[in-house]
Structure 1
Amino acid sequence: MGATYALGDLQGCCAPFNELLQKVDFDVQHDHLWLAGDLLNRGPDSRPLLKKLFNWQDRLHIVLGNHDLYALSRWAGIVPAKKSDTLAVLLADKNAGDWLEWLRQQPLLHHDEALGWTMVHAAIHPDWDISSAAEHALQVQEALCGPHWKRFLKSLWAAPAPDRWEGCRNEVDAQRFRVAVFTRARYATADGLFNWPSTLPKDLAHMYAPWHRWFFERQSSGSIICGHWATQGLLVHDRLLALDSGCVWGRQLSAARIDLAEPLIQQINCPAYAQPGN
């Protein structure tokens, strides 16, 4: 049957990825990987990493993160390179189109009824149960897979996402909000107000809590695997595996074996990626 491992954000860090797979004795012929988004950018090796994942696609379940959507937008010529961009080598590769075309087809949510886990990159709205969250994620995936996908990506960058679902005036707003929840969310208030920046406004910080506090208060079922929040670090609760432990910032890369009764966590250190000020 093989083992199933879930990993946090790789962000172009191919060498630690290979090292962690060796540590868990990953067998590509029999085991499976779940990758919680932000596969690309910031780290130095997005090209070999995406090549490996493309070749292993039959053994993978992937959800897209904000850096993956950025990489697709760079490939499509929609956005200019940011200061932290490390995608030039990947985008110059003659096979980049095949690899990124495959990446474009990936979802924002993966659910496995047998294993009992649902994976997203960042968050699920506390008012969405797993079924409704899957429907919201499918709306985004269908747009990304459709013939007007470049127009859709361009619309995501054209204006900020509303900070609450009730603030969506039309379907374009709704799509921006869905993408922001699944790929960027960290903090929310009890009444569904999201803060998209990574830091909270000081005068309102007391109103906010991590999104998963409200989710687990309101949803009696659903166990979540996510990444995205390196400053929060590794969190292992009964219904939560938050696996972004900051590899690209010189900390750890984390994997959880999720086909066991209790998830088994394994990590490696990533000191080579330490950056000044982090």
Structure 2
Amino acid sequence: MAVYAIGDIQGCAEELDRLLEHIAFDPATDRLWFAGDLVNRGPGSLDALRRVHELDAVATVVLGNHDLHLLAVARGAGREKRGDTLRPILEAPDREVLLEWLRRRPLFHQDPELGFSLVHAGLPPIWDTGTAARLAREAEAVLGGPDPDPFLHVMYGDQPDRWDEALEGWPRLRYIVNALTRLRYVRDDGRPALAAKGAPGSQPSGCHPWFDHPERASRGQRVVFGHWSTLGLHLTRDTFGLDTGCLWGGRLTALRLDGEEPRVFQVDCPGAVTPGTV
């Protein structure tokens, strides 16, 4: 059995099909991990969501910030933004099936046997993977529960910006969701720097990529993530960034996780969006 982790698709459905063909994916024996952001900004958001939904029996999907944005817009808790390509999903005859499936996806996945964890964005320095898994379950219980709307209405926002186990209610859940779906940089004191989005080297003074913070509790625990197209392919001993900017004309990446060493597979992407237009 082969296990492949795939980076951000963001509505690039044709590229996903080409990547699955490139890796000779066999649903009878292989498994897929998707690092979130299945939808939005690319031209085939509906097709991409349908394709991954069809693969549900063999796919593990973690939610990304664009997936959460879709859920919020669909339930009247958010507004479509310039550059969004969510309308075909919102008007699809199978929208409720797709959206109900999507909102029940996890925010964090941990596979002790394989020795990898999967998240869309990153982990605050104070969390190890066990803590991330525990806290993710709290937010998942609300997002996938009988009434996610109250949280979706207060989900947007950058505060609180400091983790404390004493946090309660919506502020606690907002921090958890922001960390797992929006994080790129953290400050010296571990607080998220959510406004910084460029490649390493462009960040404000006193900020570090989340995986480079000197006190990172998850160091040595292998984490696969997406979300950061300006970072590009990132492979270290314990962190594996797979958002290689397919949406922007880069590549769509799969990383084979089983075996002695992870192996990279990629397909070129023509570029669904010109940088700077959304």
Partner of 1:135: 134
Query: CA 1:24–1:94 in structure 2 vs 1: closer, same or farther (change >3 Å)?
Result: same
Query: CA 1:217–1:194 in structure 2 vs 1: closer, same or farther (change >3 Å)?
Result: closer
Q: Percent identity?
A: 37
Partner of 2:40: 41
Distance (Å, rounded) in 2 between the aligned partners of 1:161 and 1:168: 15
Distance (Å, rounded) in 2 between the aligned partners of 1:144 and 1:215: 32
Partner of 1:190: 188
Which deviates more from structure 2 when the two are superposed, residues 71-80 or residues 211-220? 211-220
Partner of 1:77: 76
Query: CA 1:214–1:250 in structure 2 vs 1: closer, same or farther (change >3 Å)?
Result: same
Which deviates more from structure 2 when the two are superposed, residues 33-42 or residues 79-88? 79-88
Contact 1:124-1:215 within 8 A present in 2 as well: no
Which structure's residues are more often helix, by fraction? 1
Q: Equivalent residues in 2 for 1:156-175 (5 A)?
A: 156-157=155-156, 159-166=157-164, 170-175=168-173
Deviation for aligned residue 1:29: 1.8
Distance (Å, rounded) in 1 between the aligned partners of 2:79 and 2:195: 20
Partner of 1:219: 218
Distance (Å, rounded) in 1 between the aligned partners of 2:185 and 2:86: 29
State the aligned residue count: 275
Secondary structure of 1:111's match? Answer: strand
Deviation for aligned residue 1:14: 0.3
Contact 1:161-1:180 within 8 A present in 2 as well: no
The two structures have a TM-score, normalised by structure 1, of 0.93
**Over 3 Å off, 4+ runs:** 166-170, 215-221
Deviation for aligned residue 1:166: 4.1
Secondary structure of 1:49's match? Answer: helix
Q: Equivalent residues in 2 for 1:1-278 (5 A)?
A: 2-157=1-156, 159-166=157-164, 170-199=168-197, 205-214=204-213, 217-277=216-276
Deviations along 1:149-198, one digit per CA (max 9) or x if unpaired, are 011111213x4322211498532111111110000011102321211113
Which deviates more from structure 2 when the two are superposed, residues 22-31 or residues 104-113? 22-31
Distance (Å, rounded) in 2 between the aligned partners of 1:115 and 1:215: 26
Deviation for aligned residue 1:217: 4.5
Distance (Å, rounded) in 1 between the aligned partners of 2:196 and 2:215: 21
Secondary structure of 1:271's match? Answer: coil
Deviation for aligned residue 1:277: 4.2
Distance (Å, rounded) in 1 between the aligned partners of 2:166 and 2:207: 21
Deviation for aligned residue 1:221: 3.6
Distance (Å, rounded) in 1 between the aligned partners of 2:35 and 2:59: 11
Distance (Å, rounded) in 2 between the aligned partners of 1:219 and 1:103: 27
Deviation for aligned residue 1:46: 1.1
Q: RMSD in angstroms over aligned alpha carbons?
A: 2.1
Contact 2:248-2:275 within 8 A present in 1 as well: no
Contact 1:13-1:45 within 8 A present in 2 as well: yes
In structure 2, list runs of 5 or more residues that go unmatched. Answer: none
Distance (Å, rounded) in 1 between the aligned partners of 2:54 and 2:153: 29
Deviations along 1:61-104, one digit per CA (max 9) or x if unpaired, are 01000000001111112212100110111111110100110010
Contact 1:6-1:33 within 8 A present in 2 as well: yes
Distance (Å, rounded) in 2 between the aligned partners of 1:219 and 1:263: 19
Contact 2:42-2:273 within 8 A present in 1 as well: no
Instruction: Specify the code of the residue in structure 1 equivalent to 2:252.
Output: L
Secondary structure of 2:155's match? Answer: helix
Secondary structure of 1:179's match? Answer: helix
